[in-house]
Structure formats: structure tokens, C-alpha cells
Structure 1
Amino acid sequence: MSKSDIYAHFLPEEKSFVDRAWEWVERAAEQHELRRTDFLDPRQAHILYALANRHPDAAIRLEGGYDGAERVRALIAPDYRPLEDEDAGIAVLDIASDDRRQSELDHGDYLGALLGLGIKREKIGDIHVREDGCHVLIVSEIGDFLRAHLRQVHRIETTASVLPLERLQAVPVKLEESAISVASMRLDGIASDVLRVSRAKIMDPIRAGRCRVNFKTVEDPSAQLREGDIVSFKGFGRFRVIAAEGVSKSGRIRLRIGKYV
């Protein structure tokens, strides 16, 4: 398959990841290697899965540690090698504290503490926050480091231990659903209604690169959204366009939105 054929299926700004992903697939298939990637976001996983399925001699398995995981690791191998029983190299980091204020910590607090130790985002999978603690999916090779060095989350003293996957306490994703009507599917208009911020004020974070659609940075306020799109704003939260439910007599589009809570 030529590079031009590959690029035709993806966005121009995804070229660098497509190049890396195709190299992983080729090396696995043609050099008979088993490769485990770091954690991929859903868009990256989609790209890699599509590329692996276009190579006649490659096999792929995506694994996030539990059913429905958002961030996953990929195992890529030559097609004759079964992947079902291969270890995906995922462990559970259990973060606990005797401080009652732990119940006030959120996803960003835990992620910030991990990144503050110099851990790259790709080494971290989904984060499951509970009132009495937090379970973080991690690549298993950083478990010992985190167990020794993670001592504080947002000024609250914590302890960290590494657990096997079967001990994971997954927290289901909760969406607060609402219905809105918009004049168009423009990003700025929909985000303004969902996040309850004026259209003028929503422009700045978009143009500053603080908005991501399907895990890709979008800096154009006029970008068009579609059903299923996940939109996140740094400092504002994120939401999903669940469905477009028709057009009103006045020509406005009725949307069902799910805001992550």
C-alpha cells in the first residue's frame, strides 16, 4: 500500500501519527515482532486499528484493562500469532489516603499529580475516581516507580500500591443529558450553549488551542460537529453530541447532549 493511499483516509494533521502507526504495523508483520504500544486515545486507536486491518500479514488487539475503556494499549503481531492470551502489560495503581479531603479530589487532581512526577500521558490509561480513593490504569513497567514516589495529590498525603487488573474498581462514566437547539453545527455555537458561556468568551479557548474534538486540537470556532463527537475544553469540562433529533419549524437543529460529570 502506498503512502498516498494511506494518507487519503485520514486528516492532514494526523500524518505524523499515521507514519508512526504504519511503521509499527510493518515491523510487527514483516519482522515477526510483537509490539505493545503505550495507551492510545480513541482516535489514535481507530487509526492504528484501521491500518493494521489494511495490512494482509498483521493482527491487532486493543486492550484497556476493562470492557468499555476509553484509552487502550494495542498489541500488534504477525497474523499467525494469536493475541488473545498475550499480556497487555496493564496494572492498577491504587491511590489511597487517610485524609477525609480525598473525597474532594477529581480526575484532574490525580492526573496532575502523576504528570508532575514526569510521567508521560501515554503511560496512563483511564482514571477511576471514587470518594474513598482512585484506581488508575497504567503501563505495568512504571508501577514500582509510582509506588515509591507518589506521596501527594493536590496537597493531600497519599499512598500508592500496584494491584492486578482483576482488582480494578471501575467507575461507570456518567453523562448528564440535556436538549438544546442551535442554528448550526458550529463548534462555538454548540459549546457556548452546553457550557453556558457567551459565544464571544468561548472563542478565546478555542483559538488558544484549549479545545479538542475527538481528542484532536481544534482551533477553528466554525468547525462543524457531528453526532458522536466528544468535545473537551481545558478548564470547562467535556461533552458528547449524542444525537441530532431533527429540525424545528424555525429551522433550528435539535440536539441531545451528554455532559460528563
Structure 2
Amino acid sequence: MPHKDIYAHFHPDERAFVDRAWEWVERAAEFHELRRTDFLDPRQAHILFALANRHPDAAIRLDGGSPDAERRRAIIAPDYRPLDDEPIGIAVLAIDSEDRRIGELDHGDYLGAILGLGIKREKIGDLHVREDGCHALIAEEIGDFLRIHLRQAHRVEVSASLLPLEALREVKPELEELAISVASMRLDGVTSDAFRLSRAKIVDPIRAGRCRVNWKTIEDPSVQLAEGDVVSLKGFGRFKVLSVEGTSKSGRIRVRIGKFV
């Protein structure tokens, strides 16, 4: 178990993951084990990386299958073991269809089809959705199962095949840019303008733990945002603070945000 002062850096809801991640680090450093994790979200990856760096005898490598991957697997090992050539265990699941309606499918449709087969979210990395199909990064150990059983996505008949990572057709996330004017960079103020909701309707979900900033649960509506922050509000979506462009004569702050679509 990590020293109690470590917990001060993390949200209480993250304690279970911190305990598990520290166990991985200790087993790598002290018992010379190599562990390959499932896909981690950026917050989990940050926690594991920070913990591994606290132990002088542990090494870590993070890889999501592409340079800009959001969800990544980790390899944790004793520090003397080179990690660059260790297989990360990621395959590309290519989902295609002869049905023209495949162009209507979105990220949620593909993810729902995969999870509907009983697959855990942790086994799925980033999804790259195009008009003619989807390339999903997956843990290679579930590849054959999905190739055989994935036959439908939101009422569209599909087929699945496995490709090497080099064949990935990466799709950059689309952002709908908006210019807003806010009184301050408080989380509740910026978020209410981003989602076109009253501040009163924003505060309760934040205090209820339904908001994350950079994948960390934030329950304080007064937290100050900065350029580069990614905010998600359960049930409403997420956005990124692209730039803070100065203050108007009336004292309001001009902010450009990008909503993920």
C-alpha cells in the first residue's frame, strides 16, 4: 500500500486505482515482474506514471497505438529491463459494411456494439470513426472474439477484421469552435456558457461529482480553468479551452473553446 501522503494528491474516488497501480509498481520493482495493463484513460495514465516515477527501481512505458492516443496501455517493469521493444499488445479492429447507412454511425454506436458483446471498456482504446467504417484500437487478446462475433452496430450489419497497428487510419477528433465571453475562468461559469445552460443547472452536477477536468473529478464549481483544460460533464459532453484571448473594456474575458462532436 502506498504511503498515506500519496493520497493527498488524488481525489478520494481514485484511491482504489492508486492502490492497484502502486501494487503493480511494487511488484515490478521488488519482484521483477513485467505487467501490461488494460487501456487507461489520461487521468489513470497520469497517476500510474507519477507512482512509477516515485519508485527508483521501476520503469514504465505508455502506448496507445498512435502518437496522439487518448487511451493508452502501460508496461511496468523493473528499471533494468528495456521496454522499447516489448510488445504493447494492441491491434486494430477494422469495422466495415456494405450498407450505406454505415456513414450514419458515430463513436457511441461502435462502442456500444463492442460493449454489447460483454467486452469491458478497459479493453478498448481510441476509436477512429470515418464515413466508411471505423478502426478501433483494442487489446489484442480479444481480437479473435470480436472478429468472429461483431456482426451489427446500431441495426447496421457489419463485418470485422484484424489489422496490424501500421494499418491504422487515424482520425483527429473534430471540435466545434465557439467564442464566449465570461466574467471569470471559474469552472461553473465557463461550463454554463459552453453548454448553454444556466449556472444554477451546472452547479449541482459539479457538486455531485459528475464533472471532470483533465479526467480528474472536480466537485468545486469555483475551480479556475486555463488554456488546454479538457472539461467533461456527464450527460452533456465535453469541451477544451483552446485559448484565453484577453479582456474586454467591460472586464469580461474572451475565451475560445472547442466542443467535441
Report the TM-score, using the length of structure 2 for normalisation.
Answer: 0.91
One-letter amino acid of the counterpart of residue 164, structure 1: P
- Structure 2 counterpart of 1:212, one-letter code: R
Task: Name which of structure 1's ranges 133-142 and 145-154 shifts more when overlaid on structure 2.
Answer: 145-154
Instruction: Compute the displacement of 1:105 (Å).
Output: 0.6
Q: Tell me by how many angstroms 1:217 deviates.
A: 4.1
CA RMSD of superposed structures (Å): 2.1
What is the CA-CA distance between 1:232 and the residue it aligns to?
2.1
One-letter identity of the residue aligned with 2:122: E
DSSP 3-state at the match of 1:258: strand
Q: Aligned with 2:9: secondary structure?
A: coil
Matches within 5 A, 1:129-168: 129-168=129-168
Query: Is 1:112 matched with 2:112?
Result: yes
The DSSP-based 3-state class of the residue aligned with 1:190 is: helix
What is the SS of the residue equivalent to 1:65?
A: coil
Q: Distance in 2 between matches of 1:45 and 1:235?
A: 24
- Mean CA deviation greater in 149-158 or 200-209: 200-209
Question: Residue type of the partner of 1:108?
Answer: G
Please state how far the C-alpha of 1:204 moved relative to its aligned partner. 6.0
- Which whole-Å CA distance do the structure 2 matches of 1:217 and 1:152 have between them? 34
Tell me which residue corresponds to 2:95.
95
Identify if the C-alpha distance between structure 1 residues 123 and 219 changes in structure 2 by more than 3 Å, giving closer, same or farther: same
Show CA shifts across 1:188-236 (max 9, x none).
3212211223434445654665543322444554444333221223443
CA distance in 1, matches of 2:202, 2:48: 32
For 1:227-246, list aligned pairs within 5 A.
227-246=227-246
Q: Which residue of 2 aligns with 1:172?
A: 172
1:234-259 C-alpha deviation (Å, 9 max, x unpaired): 44332101233333332322222122
- Number of matched residues? 261
Q: After superposition, what is the alpha-carbon deviation per residue over 1:135-188, rounded to whole angstroms, capped at 9, x for unaligned?
A: 000000011111121111111111111111111111022323332111123333
Bigger shift: 182-191 or 209-218?
Answer: 209-218
Describe the superposition over 1:18-73 as per-residue Cα deviations: whole angstroms up to 9, x where unpaired.
11111111111111111001001111111111111111001110000011111100
Amino acid at match of 1:82: P
Runs of 4+ in 1 over 6 A off after TM superposition: none
TM norm structure 1: 0.91
Tell me the CA shift for residue 10 of structure 1: 2.7
**Corresponding residue number in structure 1 for 2:256:** 256
- Give the alignment of 1:55-134 within 5 angstroms: 55-134=55-134
| Residues 158 and 234 of structure 1: CA distance in aligned 2, closer, same or farther (over 3 Å) | farther
**What SS does structure 1 have at the residue aligned with 2:81?**
coil
Residue 88 (structure 1) shift: 0.3
Question: What letter corresponds to residue 5 of structure 2 in structure 1?
Answer: D
| Alignment partners' CA distance in 1, 2:174 and 2:26 | 39
- Between 140-149 and 239-248, report the one with greater CA deviation: 239-248
CA spacing shift, 1:118–1:220, aligned 2, 3 Å: farther
Identity over aligned pairs, percent: 77
Q: Which piece of structure 1 moves more, 197-206 or 250-259?
A: 197-206
